[in-house]
Amino acid sequence: MQEGITLEEYKKMDLLRFTTAGSVDDGKSTLIGRLLYDSKSIFEDQYSAIEATSKRRGEEEVNLALLTDGLKAEREQGITIDVAYRYFSTPKRKFIIADTPGHIQYTRNMVTGASTANLALILIDARNGIVEQTRRHSFIASLLQIPHIVICINKMDLVDYSEEAYNKIKEEFSGFASKLDINDIHFVPISALKGDNVVDESDKMDWYKGSTLMYLLENVHIGSDHNLIDCRFPVQHVIRPYSDEFHDYRGYAGRVAGGAFKVGDEVMLLPSGFNTKIKQIDTFEGPIKTAFPPMSVTMQLEDDLDLSRGDMIVRQNNVPEVSQDIELMVCWFNDRPMRQRGKYVLKHTTQDAMCVIKEVRYKMNINTLHRMEEDKNIGMNDIARVVIRTTKPLFFDNYRRNRITGSIILIDEATNETVGAGMII
């Protein structure tokens, strides 16, 4: 792997999670293979294993797609079924790739991969321009509020590295993207196969003044991807040691979902509405002064109040919405369609509840972005706007404002399967 990274450098690295999306043949696997290969993250035994498999199948070149297709069925059918996670790092950053399949029937995987991503990498074949899947993937990236989008216009070698071809696609995409909710878009003309502008700058596209894909990945600013304004601390677990040393200790363990909590802060507890102060913020290494996302800490409060899993610690002057009637964009993941008036188990932060689907407002045509108000049959891979009512109040924020306190999952009570993912509007 990377040689010569010192421990000091390693202690300064941060973490970028990105998803890759593309149609079947637009070179996604080749690009990932290229990123792994050029960053020296493919090991010799991995490489020789896929080399041997490629040869046995009579393929001329080493098929880098075999690196990501791990399951037997995937190798047999030559398709990717499930989200595969890949890892590589450079001296600047560690990267987690959620590699998601491009097939229509597996949209749920794209949503899954997108849910934790800081950045989406969308591939467009320079010869074909924007296709249906480009639109679908871009829509999902905007729906899931991935903060950064990188459009890789790939196979530039097959269009003679033409600036005109690149500009045409860029313009077309920008027009389409204006209808979406995307903040930060970058375009890079590349050839994953030949390596142009992936890790090394291309010498065939002097007209392109931007940076390489790797430079973008290493330098895109992710410091403000978390919400640092609205203080939200969902209580995950109550820690009571019952030991002599910590006899009366009562700590509220959780992961900060928004804002920065400081010792001495006046806080409000939900749902009780009680006010108290933060007495101490504990970690194994000792008490700290400030806790911010995505830190896992344990809080002690000044007053001994009733607080348990599913409750939330917030600031008095900045509280989330508290309601039982919630509007959502829902992506459906199950063969069994959504039941109108049906009851589902719901999970939101550390809270469990039941809910009923009160109304389907419309279904999205994710290729045209049209709202289909007549069609209320929500099946596998459909995205719809719905209204639900929960058995108890949830404390939530708009998903656009906070991806953690603004998201829910729906579970079928009969099968326990996760059947839907919802983003609160």
Partner 1 sequence: MNYHLTHLKELESESIFIFREVAAQFENPVLMFSGGKDSILMTHLAMKAFYPAKIPFPLLHVDTGHNFPETMEFRDKLIERLGVRLIVGSVQEAIDTGLVQEEKGFNASRNSLQIAALLEALESNKFDAAMGGARRDEEKARAKERFFSHRDEFGQWNPKNQRPELWNIFNGNKNMGEHFRVFPISNWTELDVWQYILMEGIELPSLYYSHKRKCFKRDGVILAATDVIQLKPTETAEEMTVRFRTIGDMTCTGATLSEADTLEKIVQEVATTRVTERGGRSDDKRSETAMEDRKKKGYF
x/- binding map, residues 9-28, to partner 1, per CB under 8 A? -xxxxxx-------------
CA distance linking residue 16 with residue 118, whole number of Å: 6
Which residues between 51 and 80 bind partner 1 (CB under 8 A)? 53, 67-73, 75
Asked if 354 is part of the footprint of partner 1 (rule: CB under 8 A), the reply reads no
Range 189-248, binding partner 1 (CB under 8 A): 223, 226, 228, 236-237, 239-243, 245-246
What tokens were used for 47?
């490489």
| Cα–Cα distance measured from residue 274 to residue 287, given in angstroms and rounded to the nearest whole number | 24
For residue 413, the minimal CB distance to partner 1 (Å) is 9
264 interacts with partner 1 by CB under 8 A: no
**Do residues 170 and 187 touch, judged by C-beta distance below 8 A?**
yes
Decide whether 179 or 237 has the Cβ nearer to partner 1.
Answer: 237
Pick from 24, 57, 87, 367 the residue near partner 1 by CB under 8 A: 87
280 binds partner 1 (CB under 8 A): no
Nearer to partner 1 (CB atom), residue 23 or residue 349:
349
Which of 82, 83, 80, 91 is CA-nearest to residue 25? 80
Q: Does 425 bind partner 1 (CB under 8 A)?
A: no
- Partners of 39 in the β-ladder: none
Number of Cβ within 10 Å of residue 138's Cβ equals: 26
Footprint on residues 290-309 left by partner 1 (CB under 8 A): 290, 292-296, 298, 309
Query: Which residues ranging from 89 to 148 are in contact with partner 1 (CB under 8 A)?
Result: 89, 93-94, 96, 108-109, 111-112, 115-116
Under rule CB under 8 A, residue 367 binds partner 1: no
**Minimum CB–partner distance for residue 355 and partner 1 (Å):** 14
Residues 153 and 198 sit within 8 Å (Cβ to Cβ): no
Torsion sign, CA atoms 6, 10, 16, 18: positive
Q: Tell me the backbone φ, ψ of residue 134, rounded to 5 degrees.
A: -60, -45
Element (H, E) at 408: strand 407-411
Q: Binders of partner 1 among 375-414, rule CB under 8 A?
A: 403-404, 407-409, 411
Report the SS3 class of residue 132: helix
Q: How many residues contact partner 1, by CB under 8 A?
A: 88
Which segment (84-92, 123-131, 318-326, 363-371) binds partner 1 by CB under 8 A?
84-92
Q: Residues 176, 135: contact at Cβ < 8 Å? A: yes
Using CA atoms, how far apart are residues 43 and 166, in angstroms rounded to an integer? Answer: 34
Q: Which residue number, 9 or 373, has a Cβ lying nearer to partner 1?
A: 9
